[in-house]
Amino acid sequence: METILFFIIQIILIPLISPFFIGLTRKVKARMQNRTGASPFQPYKDLWKLFHKDEVISVDASWIFKAAPYIIFSTTIIIGASIPLITTLTTNSYMGDFLVIVYLIALGTFFLALAGLDTGGAFGGFASSREMVVSALTEGGLILSLLILALISHSTNLTTITSTISSLSYLNFAPVILAFLSFIISILAENNRYPFDNPATHLELTMIHEAMILEYSGKKLALMEWASANKYLIFIALGVNLFIPWGIATSLNWVTTLTALVIFLTKVSVFCILIATLESSIAKLRFFKLPSLLFTSLVFCIIALGLII
């Protein structure tokens, strides 16, 4: 019975708290820029407002445009239920493989790009093109950073990786640190953060993600925004639980689970603050300079592979 309850917690935790951490990142960025900023709970109000608005759908839209929000949101729910969040005892043998997670992320990106292209708008077209270029260049660093952990753990299961890394000697932690640096670059690229994209802009020359969802409104736009928040939290959860796994529960009882939940939320909050600080300290790069940065993530992974092979 407890195992079922923990799986239910796994399923609802990501969509429940993800808007807060988007709001927290925006709040910290605002404070770093000497602005007051909205409350961290503002994304919940935005989602509520969008779910109660009418939709306007282009006459040129096909079933892809209409189905994409549900597919993208569903993939984030499946991923959130499959990765280790607060305990290593709810092992998912089928969906917990890191390659499955990467492919599910790619599936969401694929339908997002198709949705941007579907209505035939100029904004959606160039944004989808840019998104696929960035995504294709990011996948190598993302997979290699997780592959390094898999080689250290002798398993591709994320729960097993978490358990192994948590017991790893500090003397053998250099490859993990290098893989973590590569993973941070992947987080910024996959979630359209600085220096890859500006998630708060509608300026034609800079936007990628916002241009792909420009044709959406109402409930479908709410699902797109919610899915984006889920994806952001999923990547941060993978970062803090795979590379910094200390504090995750190793037994199924409420005391250790609540303690692990508090530690998890603290680590995610610190990670969001660090991302907001980083974004406030750097400028957005020109699009044609992004491959150089993504190549840097590959270099980190290659060095880490050299240390463990």
Looking at the predicted structure, is the pLDDT value of residue 92 above 80?
Answer: no
CA distance 61 to 120: 8
CA distance 8 to 283: 41
User: What's this model's pTM, rounded to 2 decimal places?
Assistant: 0.94
CA distance 25 to 33: 12
Mean pLDDT of 132-139: 91
- Cα angle, residue 248 at apex, residues 245 and 249 outer, rounded to 5°: 150
What are 145-201's pLDDT values in tens digits?
A: 999 999 999 999 998 999 899 888 877 889 999 999 999 999 999 998 888 887 776
pLDDT number for residue 95: 79
Confidence of residue 50 (pLDDT cuts 50, 70, 90): very high
The CB density around residue 80, as the number of other CB atoms within 10 Å, is 22
The dihedrals phi and psi of 157, each to the nearest 5 degrees, come to: -80, 130
Mean pLDDT of 134-138: 91
Taking alpha carbons only, the member of 297, 234, 303, 255 closest to residue 10 is: 234
Mean pLDDT of 205-224: 86
Q: Which of 40-44, 83-87, 90-94 has the lowest mean pLDDT?
A: 90-94
Both structure tokens of 162:
């978490």
Residue 205 CB partners (closer than 8 Å, separation 6+): none
pLDDT number for residue 202: 62
Mean pLDDT of 49-53: 95
Confidence of residue 230 (pLDDT cuts 50, 70, 90): very high
CA distance 183 to 242: 11
